[in-house]
Homo-oligomer: A and B are copies of this chain.
Amino acid sequence: MAGTDRKQHAPSGGPAIILVEPQLGENIGTAARAMLNCGLTDLRLVKPRDGWPSEKARSAASGADKVIEGARLYDSTAAAIADLARVYATTARPRGMIKRVATPRRAASEMRKATSLGQKIGVLFGRERTGLENDDIALADAVIAVPLNPGFASLNLAQAVLLVGYEWFQAADKTPANQLVVNETRPATKAELLNFFLQLEKRLVDSGFLRNVEKRPSMVRNIRNLFQRAGLTHQEVRTLHGIVSDLSALRERRK
């Protein structure tokens, strides 16, 4: 899934991503890359263990320099979220705490609504090994927990950021779920398709393939359905005409 266009277009207004006491600069970098993949740029770091700025972070960000350069440092989670109106904590199901738990998809939909009302929001991510502490979770309005294989649910930091950001992006994305990409050509018209069917069927009558007159109508329908399903383009119908002509000529020569 390589992209070539490196212009770092990023829609603004997305949630702040707050990494609480991240340990490795490399993980901050891969998280920054995942953020920019999803159009997020507001990165906040609470007491990163190995200091800041970090050359390892920049290198691991694979070009998401804008996010790394814009990152802000804080002494506490409370300070990092002070300007926000709504905060989510990413964690497994909270234990011994009474808390609303949302899926990333639901949270993304809530976040889109909140930002459309001008509210600033943020998502907390904990330390690589141990996650968020309960005191951090208690600062949040709700928890985001990702439904995954219950026997193997541990995600690394960048992947957790990616899934939250991915749902944020999808919640406003207008890409059709399903489309035929036809590039330089266009879908065939029904007239072109029917013309091909008639040519093919004429040849198949000539060759004897459709010799059984009783079965011929259903065989013709089956063949037509097969090519209909392919959703042929103008160019592909021309190619098929050529294939049929060539194969017929071959048959003629062999006679």
Contact = CB atoms under 8 A, between A and B. Distances in A.
Copies in the complex: 2
Given A159-B158, A180-B99, A181-B93, A152 B2 contact: no
A106 B177 contact: yes
A98 B182 contact: yes
Contacts of A125: 1
A92 B175 CA distance: 13
Q: How big is chain A's contact interface, by range?
A: 35 or more
A152 B63 contact: yes
A60 to B, nearest CB: 10
Contacts of A218: none
A92 B37 contact: no
Given A37-B153, A62-B154, A1 B100 contact: no
Nearest to A152: B36
A130 interface: yes
A64 interface: yes
Interface in A173-224: 173, 175-185
A149 to B, nearest CB: 4
Interface of A: 1-3, 5-11, 30, 33-34, 36-39, 62-64, 90-103, 105-106, 125-126, 129-131, 143, 145-156, 158-160, 162-163, 166, 169-170, 173, 175-185, 231, 233, 235-236
25 contacts: A1-B90, A1-B91, A1-B125, A1-B160, A2-B154, A6-B152, A7-B151, A9-B149, A9-B151, A10-B152, A39-B149, A97-B181, A98-B183, A98-B185, A101-B181, A102-B177, A103-B170, A103-B176, A105-B170, A143-B181, A146-B166, A147-B175, A148-B169, A149-B169, A162-B163
